[in-house]
Amino acid sequence: MAKEFLKLVAEFIHERYKDNVEKLCIVLPNKRGALFLKNHLAQTFGKTIWLPTIISAEDLITELSGLKTLEEIDLVCHLYESYKICYGPNAETFDSFAKWGQLILQDFNEIDRYLADSEQLYENLKDIKVIENWSLGEENLSEYQTNYLQFMNSLGAIYKHFSAFLLTNNWGYQGLAYKYAVINQDTNTFVDQFDKLLFCGFNALNAAELKIFYKLFEQKKADLIWDADNYYLKNPNQEAGLFLRNNFDLFKERDPLFIQDNFREKKDIKIISVPKQIGQAQVVKQTLQHFIDQNIPLDRVAVVLANEKLLWPVLQQLPGSIEHVNITMEYPLRYTSTYGFIELLIQLQLNFDKQKKAYKTIYHNDLINLFRQPIFLYYLKARGLDLNLSLIIGQINARNLSFISQKNLQQLLQESYVQVQQLLQPSKSIQELCETIQGVLKTCIVYFSEQQSSNQNNLELEYLQIILKNFNRLNDILIRYPHFNDIQSFKQLYTQVVGNSSAPFIGEPLRGLQIMGVLETRTLDFDHIILVNVNEGVLPSGKTINSFIPNDLKRAFGLPLYLEKDAIYAYHFYRLLQRAKDITITYDSETDTFGKGEKSRFVTQLQLEMKHYNSEITITEEVASYKTFPEELDNTIIIQKNDEVLKSILSKATSSDQYGGLSPSGLISYKECQLKFYFRYSTHLKETKEVEESAEANTFGSILHLSLETLYKDFTGKIITTNDLQEKLKLADVAVQESFISFFDNTEPVGKSILQQEVIKVYVKKLINNDIKFITGLSEENQFLTLNSLEKELSAALELKLKDKTETIYIKGKIDRVDSFGGQIRVIDYKSSVKDTDKFVFDGFEKLFQDKNYNKQFQLFIYAWLLYKNGTPPEKLMPCIVPFKVFLEEPKYVLGANKKPFVFTSQFFDEFETELKLFIASIFDQTLPFIQTDDEKTHEYCPYNVICNFKI
């Protein structure tokens, strides 16, 4: 079995330098391998020794350069100062600069790491931009072109000013430190304290590293220990060996150390296609459980995440029997709940700042999102507050509070308001806001410190501490630079600097399961690898490189392009696999139009090449499957009826109280989809209620109904005259406005609501004018229009035999309007619109009770039947619909075969009642299950369509 790379290094040290180990300096690509190497040295020497000095490449650069590398937050702020000085009075504000200032810093880093001539490079860049914007057909450049050229021309000056300022204070950014490490190498005495430096496991060296390493190598002051395999090293087409081949050409070593043939050994590689992050986390769980069942030591297993976003899903899916988990990776803070929580607090302040009025309000979505933040919940617990946030969100939705005032907050939070008030009101200054957030973070840190230790709590605590550290730095910046004291600049500072920072987790590598990022695997080897989310665009990350320097200019000055960056990741990929014997690779198979779901080309390359290179390497590919899932899901939901399922439906149907009985809308929902009826009336699943910023369809109709009821209620039981209606026409606008406000918690309409209010006014006035015209026509025939009732609730009982027992079922309905003229009674239902498919000609009971296109007719028939059961002569009834969207001068009446208004009789209603009993009896027939509709349109607009498994 192949020895681990760091074991080989330990044996090399024992063989060559066992008598003066303490005079060695071992330089590793990062700090992660130091503890592993110390452990191997202890095992190899088998006795107490003075350990060599073990440092990372960055540590060496810091020592050689003599510069203190500042944190990014400080660098961005200092860079802004240089930008303002060099660009002049037209310099943009910090919030604008922060969006692209980091690109400048990235360019400076690369220029210096690769020892490019910055003055010549920026002079060439200036010339290129002048040529690009030069046009023979234009006398003058546009203002945009002029500003763009001025900015590009200033980059060289910004570089000079910024680097000079930093050097004056013995500060640097990473690239500047590399550059000065080269400059100071001959005069720096750091390396003199060692007999030898060992550079172990390096691959892609920038120009500064090459110069430093080569000089030490040439002076016989350093040995270079490589970590590579002949498979990718000797094949010139293999990008993984690109840098190593270049390095060997430079160093001209006859026999480079530790070049092996590990890809000639037996390996089992399993490639698993699985959709979504949670699916990949499930594969990790299953694979780890298999290792546990096989008694494989977990310290020989590494879960390597190509996508750092998968850290949380993987942690949450780990088998419960795993005791020790060591996270060795950098996790971006922008993916943490703490970051999102603070972002919402800052957004609240930004929204306050935009409001010109004295009394600031909070947009409901912002407040609800804040309430749903896990860190906010922990903060409440830490403060000893027991708030039912779900109930409060329900109250916000029920009251339709689009914009929430401090008075509303006091009502919602009650006595708890005082303790969270500071978070939910405008801050007097950015300094105060920063201190408030620091206070919240400290409170949460104390809370998590006192909680029982768990992987999740430890991670949250780590995030909180790192973000608090960032806020301490932000506070220093605000004190030092008063021009950052506006909320927009503060938000950009937070987003660009804190949002681009990472939480560095450095675990105890010698114990338990390792969870790592790809870069953290350098110099480390494991027998069993689970490599997760190896998709194209993730590993490698793709061709997007943000920079102000064009690719041609980069190539000319020796700066790396995406090809070089891909080669670096190719090396990491193959190096990780070369000593492992068992490898599981997952990729996300969920596809979209942008090519997501494609496995990495590294994996495809592995599949194509390995079968020719080594037949003992077995590669299998499969689609993830779970034993607990059937091979094919039957999407149809069928609910078998029994007494328990029907209990609440029967209770409602047999109740004559205010909320009892079966309504026409309930019967229509059963007609459309029995599953929907079951969800609503058996399981009582409520439709999700959300704040309506503008009136949704139901609310729009309710406001219209209320407006008409307000205007017409004085006429109930009276003859309506045209003069009365002319007076009501004058009051229409006020009635609609008052009705609208009543639905929005006494808040004036804004935005789209204003337009909707105007539409309702038009609808109301159309109806009044139409009634005026209708009454005028009646008066010419010496007839009158009498308003019998508005929004009248009617009920009628049916005797049904259910399971050898007679039950009294109540049918209830609220009729929008009933009026009469010339011996006829109109039963009017208000609708927003009538579809072309709606049927109004009676065509038999089968269609009436089965076909959804007869739903409006069905509802009108029930209303007519209810009036008949309550004593209205059948032959007088004329049920109809008044549609508002496409207004008709004459309502849509139910028609007979002769296309004239249908004439009702007692015999017809007796037959209708018989059919209605059969229809209702089918609801309670336990031999007939509740089944879901196969109609796509009904499903599309159903409130339960997200849970019903309907397959389109």
Q: Which of 300-304, 559-563, 939-943 has the lowest mean pLDDT?
A: 939-943
SS3 content of the chain, % helix, strand, coil (to 5): 55, 15, 30
- Provide the pLDDT for residue 477: 79
Answer whether 349's CB lies under 8 Å from 410's CB.
Answer: no
Give pLDDT tens digits for 130-150: 777 665 455 566 766 777 787
**Mean predicted confidence (pLDDT) in 187-191:** 92
The pair phi, psi for residue 302, each rounded to 5°, is: -130, 130
Percent of the chain exceeding pLDDT 70 equals 92
Is residue 243 predicted with pLDDT exceeding 80? yes
The rounded percent of the chain whose pLDDT value lies above 90 is 48
Spatial distance between the Cα atoms of 119 and 568, rounded to a whole number of angstroms = 28
CA 925/CA 919 separation, integer angstroms: 10
Collapse the DSSP code of 302 into the 3-class scheme (helix H, G, I; strand E, B; otherwise coil) and give the result: strand
For residue 693, pLDDT beyond 50: no
> How much is the average pLDDT of 502-529?
82
What is the Cα–Cα distance from 838 to 854, expressed in whole angstroms? 6
9-14 own/partner pairs: CB under 8 Å, 24+ apart:
9/37, 9/40, 9/198, 9/200, 9/225, 9/258, 10/37, 10/40, 10/41, 10/43, 10/44, 11/44, 12/225, 12/257, 12/258, 13/41, 13/44, 13/52, 13/198, 14/41, 14/44, 14/45
The backbone region for 822, taken as left when phi is positive above 0, alpha when psi lies in -120 to 50, beta otherwise, is: left
- For residue 345, the model assigns a pLDDT of 92
Angle between helices 664-672 and 855-869 (to 10 degrees): 150
More confident residue, 176 or 943: 176
Q: 295-304, 688-697, 863-872: lowest mean pLDDT where?
A: 688-697
Work out the average pLDDT over 884-895: 89
Residue showing tokens 């006859």: 254
pLDDT at 430: 87
As a whole number of Å, the end-to-end CA separation of the chain is 53
Q: Residues 37, 38, 43, 46: is their CA dihedral positive or negative? A: positive
Res 542: pLDDT? 67
Residue 633 clears pLDDT 70, i.e. is over it: no
Q: Is the pLDDT reported for residue 338 higher than 60? A: yes
Mean pLDDT of 523-549: 86
Q: Which pLDDT belongs to residue 3? A: 87
Question: pLDDT by residue (tens digit) across 406-431?
Answer: 888 888 888 888 888 888 999 988 88
Residue 948 or 123, more confident: 123
Q: Which residues contact 501 (CB under 8 A, 6 or more apart)?
A: 72, 332, 333, 466, 470
pLDDT of 850 > 50? The answer is yes
Mean per-residue pLDDT, 637-650: 90
Residue 224's contacts (CB-CB under 8 Å, 6 or more residues apart) are 199, 202, 213, 217, 247, 251, 253, 256, 257
pLDDT value, residue 139: 59
Q: What are phi and psi of 267, to 5 degrees?
A: -145, 150
Highest averaged pLDDT of the listed ranges 242-256, 352-366, 629-643, 703-717? 703-717
Q: How far is CA 490 from the centre of its chain?
A: 23
What pLDDT was estimated at residue 746?
Answer: 63
684: alpha, beta or left? (left if phi > 0; alpha if psi -120 to 50): left
pLDDT at res. 694? 44
Tokens at 462, concatenated: 């780590």
What is the C-alpha separation between 426 and 350, in angstroms, rounded? 9
Q: What is the mean pLDDT of residues 381-405?
A: 83
Name the residue among 592, 504, 688, 663 with its Cα closest to residue 56.
504
Q: Is the pLDDT of residue 92 over 60?
A: yes
* CA pair distance 852, 938, nearest whole angstrom: 9
In whole angstroms, give the CA distance from residue 883 to residue 833: 5
Per residue in 807-832, pLDDT (tens digit) is 999 999 999 999 999 999 999 999 98
Question: Residue 544's pLDDT is what?
Answer: 62
Mean pLDDT for 611-637 is 73
Q: What are the structure tokens assigned to 517, written together? A: 């990022």
CB neighbours of 66 closer than 8 A, spacing ≥ 6? Answer: 170, 180, 184, 188
> What is the pLDDT, as a whole number, of residue 453?
65
- Is the model's pLDDT at 863 over the cut of 60? yes
pLDDT of residue 475: 82
Greater confidence (863 vs 550) lies with 863
Question: Measuring CA to CA, which residue among 223, 217, 221 is closest to residue 200?
Answer: 223
Provide the pLDDT for residue 879.
95
pLDDT band at 690 (very low <50, low <70, confident <90, very high): low
The neighbour count for residue 331, using CB atoms within 10 Å, is: 22
pLDDT digits (tens, 9 = 90+) for 388-399: 888 888 888 777
Residue 374 has pLDDT above 90, yes or no: no
Residues 373 and 341: beta-carbon distance below 8 Å: yes
Residue 687 — pLDDT band, cuts 50, 70, 90? low
DSSP 84-132: HHHH-TTPPPHHHHHHHHHHHHHHHHHHHHTT--HHHHHHHHHHHHHHH
Mean pLDDT of all residues in 256-269: 89
| Mean pLDDT, residues 368-383 taken together | 89
Residue 140: what pLDDT? 67
Average pLDDT over residues 882-886: 89
572 has a pLDDT exceeding 70: yes
Mean pLDDT of the chain: 87
Q: Predicted confidence band at 495 (pLDDT cuts at 50, 70, 90)?
A: confident
CA distances from 291 to 270, 296, 532 (A): 14, 5, 17
Q: Is the pLDDT of residue 691 over 60?
A: no
Amino acid found at 385: L
CA dist 802 and 650 (Å) reads: 10
Q: What is the pLDDT of residues 268-286, one digit of tens each?
A: 999 999 988 888 999 999 9
Count of helix runs (H) and strand runs (E) in the chain: 35, 25
Q: What is the pLDDT of residue 796?
A: 95
Query: Which of 826, 845, 850 has its CA nearest to residue 901?
Result: 826
Structure tokens at 519: 């870069």
* Predicted confidence (pLDDT) per residue in 283-320, tens digit: 999 999 999 999 999 989 999 999 888 888 898 888 98
Of all helices (H) and strands (E), which one includes residue 456? helix 455-480
Q: What is the mean pLDDT of residues 788-807?
A: 92
What is the model's pLDDT at position 631? 47
